[in-house]
């Protein structure tokens, strides 16, 4: 009987809701063919957003280009559109990605550790490319790996 291994790589996306890049989000919306109405509505919703900081009689303002508006009903939907390409993309055999809120669980199974390591590295490359395209990063300090021998 051969032992089976499973490894879980649990990734924390640093400031996911604050850092999601809108230009890539719009491309993600176009790829799922959600309709020109939703794309136009989303663009209108995001365009022209500003952040203001008032200290005494001085106010600083900046135009925003990233982030899911916190506390909005639309924010979680925007995040789902952003993470969907990762969840629905082609993955190596014996692998799966599960998203919960702004965290990811990469699940990899195999019969031998070298096979598992190869699959895990391939899956991490896919996740890293997805994150890079959206100007997101993973927090090494808040990410974990768990090896299980069955």
Q: For residue range 78-90, what is the model confidence (pLDDT) as tens digits?
A: 888 999 999 998 9
Q: Containing H/E element for 104?
A: strand 103-110
Mean pLDDT in residue range 101-115: 92
Residues whose CB is less than 8 angstroms from the CB of residue 48 and which lie 6 or more positions away in sequence, other chains included:
63
Q: Calculate the CA dihedral of residues 62, 67, 68, 69 and round it to 10 degrees.
A: -20
pLDDT band at 122 (very low <50, low <70, confident <90, very high): very high
- What's the CATH fold of domain 5-149? Alpha-Beta Plaits (3.30.70)
Half-sphere exposure of 27 (CA within 13 A, CB side): 9
Q: For residue range 61-105, what is the model confidence (pLDDT) as tens digits?
A: 999 888 887 778 888 888 889 999 999 989 999 999 999 988 999
Q: For residue range 11-31, what is the model confidence (pLDDT) as tens digits?
A: 999 988 888 898 999 999 988
User: What's the whole-number average pLDDT of the chain?
Assistant: 90
Helix count (H) and strand count (E) of the chain?
5, 6
**Whole-prediction pTM value?**
0.83
| The 3-state secondary structure of 21-73, one letter per residue | EHHHHHHHHHHCCCCHHHHHHHHHHHCCCEEEEEECCEEEEEECCECCCCCCC
Closest of 36, 144, 20, 139 to residue 84, by C-alpha: 20
Given a cut of 90, is residue 137 above it in pLDDT?
yes
Helix (H, G, I), strand (E, B) or coil at 123: helix
Residues whose CB is less than 8 angstroms from the CB of residue 99 and which lie 6 or more positions away in sequence, other chains included:
83, 86, 87, 105
């Amino acid at each position: 009987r051969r032992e089976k291994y499973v490894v879980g790589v649990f990734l924390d996306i640093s400031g996911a809701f604050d850092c999601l890049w809108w230009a890539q989000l719009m491309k993600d919306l176009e790829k799922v063919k959600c309709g020109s109405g939703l794309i136009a509505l989303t663009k209108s919703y995001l365009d022209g957003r500003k952040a203001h900081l008032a200290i005494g009689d001085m106010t600083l303002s900046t135009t925003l280009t990233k982030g899911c508006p916190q506390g909005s009903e639309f924010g979680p939907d925007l995040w789902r559109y952003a993470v969907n390409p990762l969840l629905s993309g082609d993955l190596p055999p014996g692998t799966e990605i599960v998203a919960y809120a702004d965290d990811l669980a990469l699940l990899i199974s195999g019969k031998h550790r070298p096979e598992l390591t190869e699959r895990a590295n391939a899956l991490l490359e896919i996740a890293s490319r997805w994150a890079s395209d959206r100007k997101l990063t993973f927090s090494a300090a808040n990410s974990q790996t768990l090896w299980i021998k069955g």
